[in-house]
Amino acid sequence: MKSALLYRYMPRYSTKVMDHFTNPRNVGVIEDADAVGRERNPACGDTMTLYLKIRDGIIVDARFQTLGCTASIAVSSVTTELVKGKSLEEARMIDRHCLGDAVDGLPPGKTHAGVLVADALKAALGDYKTRAAPDTA
Amino acid sequence: MKDYIYLDHAATTPVDPRVVEAMLPYFTERFGNPSGVYTLSQSSHGAMEEARETVADVLGCSPGEVIFTGGASEADNAAIKGGAFAMRREGNHLITSAIEHHAVLHSCQALDDYGFETTYLDVDAAGLISPEDAAEAVTDRTVLVTIMLANNEVGTIEPVADISRAVKERAWALGRDIIVHTDAAQAGGVLDLNVDRLEVDMLTLAAHKFYGPKGVGILYIRDGTPFTPQQHGGSQEKNRRAGTENIPLIVGAAEALRLAVEEQGTNNEHCTSLRDRLIDGLVGRVEGAYLNGHRTLRLPNNANFCFDGVAGESVLLGLDMEGIAASSGSACTSGSMDPSHVLTAMGVSAERAVGSLRLTVGKSNDGEEIDKVLEVLPRIIQRLREVSGAAQPVG
Q: What is the DSSP letter of B31?
A: -
**What pLDDT is stored for residue A45 in this prediction?**
82
Read off the pLDDT of residues B342-372 as tens digits, 9 standing for 90 and up.
Answer: 999 999 998 899 999 999 999 999 999 999 9
B293: nearest Cα among B379, B360, B206, B351: B360
**What pLDDT is stored for residue B42 in this prediction?**
96
Which residues belong to CATH 3.40.640.10 in chain B? Answer: 17-262
As assigned by CATH, the class of the A13-131 domain is alpha beta
User: A4 vs B321: CB contact, 8 Å cut-off?
Assistant: no
**What pLDDT is stored for residue A5 in this prediction?**
45
Read off the pLDDT of residues B196-246 as tens digits, 9 standing for 90 and up.
Answer: 999 999 999 999 999 999 999 999 999 999 999 999 999 999 999 999 999
Q: Give the span between the Cα atoms of B221 and B218, in whole angstroms.
A: 10
Q: Give the span between the Cα atoms of B320 and A78, in whole angstroms.
A: 22
Name every chain B residue with its beta carbon within 8 A of the beta carbon of A67. 309-311, 354, 384, 387-390
CA angle B391, B394, B395 (to 5 degrees): 155
Q: What is the mean pLDDT of residues B111-124?
A: 98
- Residue B332 annotated among the catalytic residues of the structure: yes
Q: Give the span between the Cα atoms of B316 and B356, in whole angstroms.
A: 10
Q: Give the span between the Cα atoms of B3 and B99, in whole angstroms.
A: 34
Gap from B111 CA to chain A (nearest CA, Å): 27
User: A68 vs B350: CB contact, 8 Å cut-off?
Assistant: no
- Looking at the DSSP assignment, which residues form a beta bridge with residue B156? B298
**Judged by CB atoms within 8 Å, which residues 32-51 of A form the interface with B?**
41, 43-47, 49
**What pLDDT is stored for residue A1 in this prediction?**
40
Q: What is the DSSP letter of B119?
A: E
Read off the pLDDT of residues B44-82 as tens digits, 9 standing for 90 and up.
Answer: 999 999 999 999 999 999 999 999 999 999 999 999 999
Q: Give the span between the Cα atoms of A65 and A76, in whole angstroms.
A: 8
- Looking at the DSSP assignment, which residues form a beta bridge with residue A65? A49
CB pairs under 8 A between A and B: 90
Most A CBs within 10 Å, among B348, B388, B394, to test the A interface: B388
Which residues belong to CATH 3.90.1150.10 in chain B? Answer: 264-386
In this complex, the residue of B309, B320, B321 whose CB is nearest that of residue A67 is B309
Strand order in the sheet with B66-69: B66-69, B217-221, B202-206, B179-183, B142-146, B93-97, B117-121
**What pLDDT is stored for residue A136 in this prediction?**
53
User: B311 vs A46: CB contact, 8 Å cut-off?
Assistant: yes
Q: Is the pLDDT of residue A8 over 80?
A: no
Read off the pLDDT of residues B247-262 as tens digits, 9 standing for 90 and up.
Answer: 999 999 999 999 999 9
User: B337 vs A43: CB contact, 8 Å cut-off?
Assistant: yes
CATH topology of domain B17-262: Aspartate Aminotransferase; domain 2 (3.40.640)
Residue B258 burial (10 A CB sphere; 0-12, 13-18, 19+): buried
In this complex, the residue of A3, A13, A24 whose CB is nearest that of residue B387 is A24
Query: CA-nearest residue of chain A to B380?
Result: A22
What confidence category does residue B329 fall into, taking pLDDT thresholds of 50, 70 and 90?
Answer: confident
Q: Give the span between the Cα atoms of B272 and B269, in whole angstroms.
A: 5
Give phi and psi for B91, each to the nearest 5.
165, -175
Residue B388 touches partner A, C-beta closer than 8 Å: yes
Cβ B197 vs Cβ B161: under 8 Å: yes
Report the range of poorest mean pLDDT among A132-136, B149-153, B314-318.
A132-136
- Residue-wise over A53-62: b if at least 16 C-beta within 10 A, else e? bbeeeebebb
Most B CBs within 10 Å, among A7, A46, A51, A110, to test the B interface: A46
Most A CBs within 10 Å, among B317, B386, B392, to test the A interface: B317
Residue A22 touches partner B, C-beta closer than 8 Å: yes
Name every chain A residue with its beta carbon within 8 A of the beta carbon of B351. 45
In this complex, the residue of A41, A66, A109 whose CB is nearest that of residue B387 is A66
Strand order in the sheet with A47-55: A35-40, A47-55, A58-67
Helices (H), A66-111: 70-83, 88-92, 96-102
**What pLDDT is stored for residue A43 in this prediction?**
79
List of residues 6+ apart from A106 with CB closer than 8 A: A17, A71, A75, A100, A113, A114
Query: CA-nearest residue of chain A to B351?
Result: A45
CATH number attached to the domain at B264-386 = 3.90.1150.10
Cβ B315 vs Cβ B384: under 8 Å: yes
Residue A79 touches partner B, C-beta closer than 8 Å: no
Residue A63 touches partner B, C-beta closer than 8 Å: no
